[in-house]
Structure 1
Amino acid sequence: MAAGYDVTAIARLPGNLALDHPRRTADALNPESLRGALARPEAVVSALGSTGLGPTTVCSAGTAAIVSALPSGARLMVLSSAALATPPDAGPGARLLGGILRWVLRHPYADMARMEKLLASSGLAWTAVPPSGLTDQPAPRFPRLR
């Protein structure tokens, strides 16, 4: 916004956004409330996520709502909190940890898998990015690329 871009911030609970900006009234899980907010986007970045380890539909339902509200030709980038697959060249420790995480986080991972299937069949130009190690700390001097 400081650079002059027209930005609309959307949340599951818009009142919880710590942002003094008039365009923050849409509910990310409600397609009808999103239609006006997403009428002419150049791009949409979604960072939906759930809390807890139980069954959830936040990622898949929110992405479905966003996809249904976007006009054709819009671009969608989805930031998810975890990669769903262990890299093929991962060592035994990483494969073991990946298996444990997939079991512990089975409900959120199942929701993210539904979200990715929805993206694949959406017809939109989309990108799914599973960043790791997101913090509020300054960026490292030499970031690690995977």
Structure 2
Amino acid sequence: MKLVVFGASGRIGTELVRQGVAAGHEVTAVVRKGSSLQVELPELRLVAARAGAAGDLAKVVTADVMDPKSIAPVIAGHDVVLSALGPRPKGPSDVLTSSARSVLQALGDVRRYLVVSVAGIHGGNDDPFTQFVVKPILQRLLREGFADARRMEELVGASTVDWTICCPPRLSDKPAKGTFRSNTEGSVRGGFTMTRADVATYMLNAIDDTALIRKTAVISN
């Protein structure tokens, strides 16, 4: 399968590229000008060889995700688009909304689109402490980023493509646990953290999961 990964220079994006290549996918890693992939192409070629791939399964492209004309030629001919972009931690932000709007305009014939959001804007299954203490604090501290995530989810949810929105909680760079929980009807009770490696695994597994098409999934370890 041919995958495009936006935000490939970030930590979830790096995992998507590495794991995607290991699974035998052809991966186009998109980075912005001035950024570089955190995993070297020789390492990816070694990963591909270990997976039994005969050819080069990864390439890096520099393009502005906010410019649909710039990314449309990159997306063309692929099967799936994955966005690992995240909101700015502080201050006004429209990274998620603007990038999603641009990608949706540039998708062309590509139908499958998976995007990362945040678990903190979702509720419905929380314990009282999380509902009345933890989340109100987070929503105040991260209000701009959360507002951006909400706008993005509304934009993607109103589209006609085969989207899946993946919403992890606080992220860590610890080694993958290999297990995770998910809920498409609300939050994951007690789901406070998730490794970035497991987020990438979940997203790659979700590509072929028809039950997740046009679903928002809150995920956690």
Higher RCO (Cα < 8 Å, 6 or more apart):
1
Q: Aligned match of 2:142 in 81, 105, 108? A: 105
Instruction: Specify which of 124, 129, 148 is matched with residue 93 of structure 1.
Output: 129
Instruction: State the Cα deviation string for residues 89-136 of structure 1 (Å, max 9, x = none).
Output: 322210121111111111101111110111012211100011234322
SS where residue 29 of structure 2 aligns?
Answer: coil
More helix by share: 2
Matches of 2:172 and 2:36, distance apart in 1 = 20
State the 1:75 CA deviation: 0.5
Which AA in structure 2 matches 1:92?
P
* 1:6 maps to which of 26, 35, 53: 26
Per the TM alignment, residue 61 of structure 1 is displaced from its structure 2 partner at its CA by 0.3
Normalized per residue, which structure has more strand? Answer: 2
Percent identical among aligned pairs is: 33
Cα deviations across residues 16-45 of structure 1 (Å, max 9, x unaligned)? 323436432122222111011101221111
What SS does the corresponding residue of 2:137 show, helix, strand or coil?
Answer: helix
Paired AA for residue 93 in structure 1: F
One-letter code of the match for 1:31?
P
Separation of aligned partners in 2, 1:5 and 1:14: 26
**CA deviation profile, 1:42-64 (whole Å, cap 9, x unmatched):** 11111111333211110000111
Question: 1:76, 1:14 → 2: CA distance?
Answer: 25
Amino acid at match of 1:131: P
Answer yes or no: is 1:42 the counterpart of 2:79. yes
Is the alpha carbon distance of 1:107 and 1:29 closer, same or farther for their aligned partners in structure 2, counting shifts above 3 Å?
A: same
SS class of match (1:10): strand
More off after superposition, 27-36 vs 107-116: 27-36
Q: TM-score, normalised by structure 1?
A: 0.85
C-alpha displacement at 1:140, in angstroms?
2.9
Q: Distance in 2 between matches of 1:119 and 1:97?
A: 27
Q: Quote the residue 2:211 is aligned against.
A: none
Residue number in structure 2 paired with 1:130: 167
Equivalences for residues 18-37 of structure 1 within 5 A:
18=38, 19-20=40-41, 22-37=59-74
Residue 4 of structure 1, CA deviation: 4.0
Aligned to 1:70: 107
Q: CA deviation at 1:3?
A: 4.7
1:24 aligned counterpart, secondary structure: strand
C-alpha distance in structure 2 between counterparts of 1:82 and 1:91, whole Å: 14
Aligned residues: 144
- The answer for unaligned runs of 5 or more in structure 2 is 1-20, 42-57, 182-187, 189-221
Q: Which residue in the other structure is 1:51 paired with?
A: 88
Q: CA RMSD in A?
A: 2.1
Contact preservation (8 Å) 1:11, 1:26 = yes
**Do the aligned partners of residues 50 and 16 (structure 1) sit closer, same or farther apart at CA in structure 2, a change above 3 Å counting?**
farther
Residue of structure 2 in register with 1:16 after alignment: 36
